[in-house]
Amino acid sequence: VAWAGATDGRFYRQAGIDTVGYGPGGENAHGANEAVIIDDLVTQARVYAAVITDLLAPTSR
């Protein structure tokens, strides 16, 4: 899915690294009267925290 924002993800993709863009969106993102829905921002923060916690958790071998 394409998005209108700008990230450095294209550089990673060009290097063959899988890339995911994730964040709150909206019809007016990067436009006039840009705003974010607070509930979406909170959800995003919780997902980021869960991913980081999972990635940093010790693995059982």
- In 3D, which of 29, 28, 32, 12 has the Cα closest to residue 20? 12
d(CA 2, CA 21): 10
Q: How confident is the model at residue 45 (pLDDT cuts 50, 70, 90)?
A: very high
What is the average pLDDT across 2-21? 82
- Return the pLDDT at 51: 92
Q: Over the chain, what is the mean pLDDT?
A: 84
57, 42 Cβ separation under 8 angstroms: no
Q: Are 44 and 50 in contact (CB under 8 A)?
A: no
Q: Give the global pTM.
A: 0.63
More confident residue, 8 or 47: 47
Measured between alpha carbons, how far is 38 from 17 in angstroms, rounded to an integer? 31
CA distance 21 to 11: 13
